[in-house]
Amino acid sequence: MLKRTGCFVLSLLLLAVGLAGCASFSAVSPHKTVWLDLFDTVSSLTVYGVDKADFEAGAKALHTRLTEYHQLFDIYHSYAGVNNLKTVNDNAGQPVAVPSEVLDLLEYGVSAYRRTGGRVNILFGAVLELWHDCRVTALETPVAALPEPAALQTAATHTDPAALVIDREAGTACLTDPLARLDVGAVAKGYAAELAATYIREELGWTSALLDMGGNVRAIGGKPTIGGQTPFTIGVQNPNTDSANAYLLTVGLQDMAAVTSGDYQRFFMVDGRQYAHIIDPDTLYPAAFVRAVTVVCPDSGLADVLSTALFTLPVEQGLALLRQFPEAQAVWVLTDGTLQYSDGFNAYKK
Amino acid sequence: MKTGRKKGDIWLVTAVLAVALCLFLLLWLLPGDGAAVEVTVDGAVYATLPLDTPTTLDIPGKNGCVGTLVIADGRATVTHATCPDRLCVRMGPVSRAGQSIVCLPGRIVVTVVGGTPAVDGEV
């Protein structure tokens, strides 16, 4: 009997040691770094299973690479010795020699227009410029006015995607309409995050990492567990930011991307009314169909494009668009706070 | 044989209780969810404040931005900021480990530390 009890105590002790071991295993802290100087947002990189020196060297190399994209895809600032999208905008009417990375992004943007039935248009800069100025004024002063309807209508006549001519051989991009402007706000971050994910996997050889570029989250592999990986847990933010529930739900991401477009962060107020920063290409006014929409799919660039496109559509039409992308799923936060899921979203719910 | 079994039972009960007590103490002593907030300015730690003590702190950030951090009811909120966009004010209160409030122009980051983050990221 004593022997049996001894065995039992021993096994309990082993269990306790095992539990403690598990706890310390999961507590193995990953390496993490935060960047505040990319794409006008907060980015972070979390990596498991590499030593500190490797992490720091790799993170630095990735930051250099992302800084390059940040400068090339910038429509607001010029950089010494760099022809970027601002250069193309400033020289509308004539071809501008730009690095191939810029041409790649522009081609991706053109394909986004086609694939979303025109919901995402990188030639929409002339309209978005008016809203950008309005938003900046509204944030800085209490007196701001919405753009004039006539000005919006005029600007909208300079948004034809055909006005962008990409010449691969000459290495140039040209806006043939001198009043057309590029705006890659719906495309660039997700596209850059996807390039970064490829770099992390193929150049750095990391197999367990989470890259977050201002709400564009890209999981490279999953989170390490004993004998394998488990999906990263990503919270979908509650648009009511002062609620006690910070997240409406959590999703599991492994080699997947998630992006949210919502009205609760980059909004602005005019005459006591709240406006989102995403503009409906039909009405030329901020979209207000839903509070937020989160898209989960393998490609971060597509997730970014689709979340913007879906934000500018009523849910039913959004669901119809989404059906053309079997690899993508979405969850909407409706104006009354209820959630609506696409058919296959359950696979990601945690 | 009967007394042997009884003795064994006592051993067993004691052992189970001991292990349970150890586990309980272990869990109890480990920091709970969101014990404190760490405030950094341009990457350097400016202050670390416990979440269970109500306070107000003005954080002098970069580019002339000053953010006002208020801790109350176990939650931290940037209630006011002098930067133009004030996105940090809109981020609402944070209380769970890993959550953060960021003021980009001021390079101010307020992160809840001292627990196991509930999520790995958020969208």
Strand partners, B102: B109
Nearest to A16 among B12, B23, B123 (CB): B23
Domain-located, residue A215: yes
Q: Kindly report, residue by residue over A235-263, the tens digit of the pLDDT.
A: 999 998 888 888 999 999 999 999 999 99
Domain-located, residue A190: no
Domain-located, residue A271: yes
Chain A stretch 103-162, residues whose beta carbon is closer than 8 A to a beta carbon of chain B: 136, 139-140
pLDDT, residue A7, reads 55
Query: How do the pLDDT tens digits run along chain B, 123 residues long?
Result: 555 667 788 888 888 788 878 776 665 554 445 688 999 998 888 888 888 888 888 998 988 889 999 998 889 999 989 887 778 888 889 888 888 899 888 899 999 988 777 889 999
CB–CB contact B11 A12 (8 Å) = no
pLDDT, residue B5, reads 67
- Per CATH, the number for B36-113 is 2.60.320.10
CB B55 within 8 A of CB B71: yes
Neighbours of A84 (CB within 10 A): 24
- Number of domains chain A is built from: 1
**A127: pLDDT strictly greater than 70:** yes
Is A5 in CB contact (< 8 Å) with chain B? yes
Instruction: Please report the number of interchain residue pairs, chain A to chain B, with beta-carbon separation below 8 angstroms.
Output: 106
User: Alpha-carbon torsion A334, A338, A340, A341, what sign?
Assistant: positive
Cα Rg of chain B, angstroms: 23
CB–CB contact B19 A12 (8 Å) = yes
Domain-located, residue A328: yes
Domain-located, residue A82: no
| Lowest-pLDDT range of A17-21, A199-203, A260-264, B98-102 | A17-21
CB–CB contact B109 A8 (8 Å) = no
CB–CB contact A9 B12 (8 Å) = yes
CB–CB contact B4 A236 (8 Å) = no
CB A173 within 8 A of CB A103: yes
Q: What is the ipTM of this complex?
A: 0.78
CB–CB contact B84 A246 (8 Å) = no
Q: Name every chain B residue with its beta carbon within 8 A of the beta carbon of A350.
A: none
Q: Calculate mean pLDDT across residues A80-89.
A: 97
Q: Kindly report, residue by residue over A133-176, the tens digit of the pLDDT.
A: 998 888 888 778 899 999 999 999 999 999 999 999 999 999 99
Neighbours of B23 (CB within 10 A): 14
Q: Calculate mean pLDDT across residues A40-44.
A: 90
d(CA A340, CA A333): 7
CATH number of the structural domain spanning residue A290: 3.10.520.10
Output the pTM of the full model.
0.81
Q: Which domain holds residue A302?
A: 30-70+204-348
Q: Name every chain B residue with its beta carbon within 8 A of the beta carbon of A13.
A: 19
Domain-located, residue A280: yes
